[in-house]
């Protein structure tokens, strides 16, 4: 009798209503976010295709003197890695506009719920910003070093394929293979350093 009276006074049916509302909101959020990611990824694919076509058209117009500082590895990196950057940033691009509003709303809500204690969270958030900047600096530095070695590997591989007759005639297979293995091992040593500190948003 007491438990039944408690349930009636607590209006337990409101709990089911709130749970159903939260479920519906999360389902709508998941569908809208998926649709947003789909649209942004499709836009990024078009941008990547346009960039690759522009690079290819520019390569066709490069003369021997104009292409002096441009290697095959650098061109392939521009097409593969730099153009791929649009696909990576596209789903998160609109966070530049939405994240400030979300942060303000969350802090106002926390201040209303728990009072001045929310300032500890604000302090921790602002402390994490310079830490994240340091991590990003290390990450991009490691990426630049790795891409330079990747340029060397692709350039060496391209020269080996184009000069295969000369390589076979002078029996340079082992020399070229050892050189490729050396450059590849150097590149693999740089991969963990860039993978150990992936860029992320401090507000996520």
Distances (CA, A) of 83 to 43, 57, 86, 89, 204: 13, 15, 6, 11, 25
Residues 83, 117: one domain? Answer: no
Residues 112, 200: one domain? Answer: yes
Range of the domain at 73: 1-93
Q: Which long-range contacts (CB under 8 A, 24 or more apart) does 96-104 make?
A: 99/201, 99/203, 102/203, 103/203
Residues 103, 71: one domain? Answer: no
Q: What is the pLDDT of residue 23?
A: 92
Residues 106, 74: one domain? Answer: no
Q: What is the pLDDT of residues 146-182, one digit of tens each?
A: 878 888 887 788 778 878 888 788 888 888 888 888 8
Residues 122, 162: one domain? Answer: yes
Q: What is the pLDDT of residue 28?
A: 93
Residues 145, 67: one domain? Answer: no
Q: What is the pLDDT of residue 24?
A: 93
Residues 85, 128: one domain? Answer: no
**93, 115, 140: which is the final residue of a domain?**
93
Residues 2, 24: one domain? Answer: yes
Rounded Cα gap, residues 52 and 84, in angstroms: 10
**pLDDT surpasses 70 at 8:** no
Helix residue spans in 69-197 (DSSP H): 72-77, 83-89, 95-114, 118-162, 164-169, 173-195
**93, 113, 136: which is the final residue of a domain?**
93
Residue 194 confidence class, pLDDT cut points 50, 70, 90: low
Residue 11 — φ and ψ, nearest 5°? 55, 65
Number of domains, the chain: 2
**63, 93, 123: which is the final residue of a domain?**
93
Q: What is the pLDDT of residues 59-70, one digit of tens each?
A: 777 655 555 566
Q: What is the pLDDT of residues 72-107, one digit of tens each?
A: 667 777 777 777 777 778 778 888 888 888 888 888
């Amino acid at each position: 009798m007491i438990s039944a009276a408690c349930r009636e006074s607590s209006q337990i049916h409101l709990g089911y209503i709130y749970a159903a509302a939260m479920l519906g909101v999360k389902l709508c959020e998941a569908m809208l976010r998926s649709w947003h990611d789909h649209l942004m990824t499709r836009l990024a694919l078009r941008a990547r295709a346009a960039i690759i076509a522009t690079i290819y058209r520019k390569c066709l117009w490069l003369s021997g003197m104009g292409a002096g500082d441009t290697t095959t590895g650098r061109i392939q990196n521009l097409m593969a890695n730099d153009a791929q950057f649009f696909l990576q940033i596209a789903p998160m691009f609109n966070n530049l506009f939405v994240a400030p509003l979300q942060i303000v709303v969350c802090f106002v809500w926390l201040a209303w719920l728990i009072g001045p204690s929310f300032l500890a969270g604000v302090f921790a958030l602002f402390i994490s910003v310079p830490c994240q900047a340091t991590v990003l600096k290390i990450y991009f530095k490691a990426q630049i070093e790795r891409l330079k070695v990747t340029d060397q590997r692709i350039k060496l591989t391209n020269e080996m394929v184009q000069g295969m007759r000369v390589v076979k005639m002078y029996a340079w297979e082992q020399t070229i293979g050892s050189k490729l293995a050396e450059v590849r091992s150097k590149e693999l040593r740089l991969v963990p350093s860039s993978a150990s500190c992936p860029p992320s948003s401090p507000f996520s």
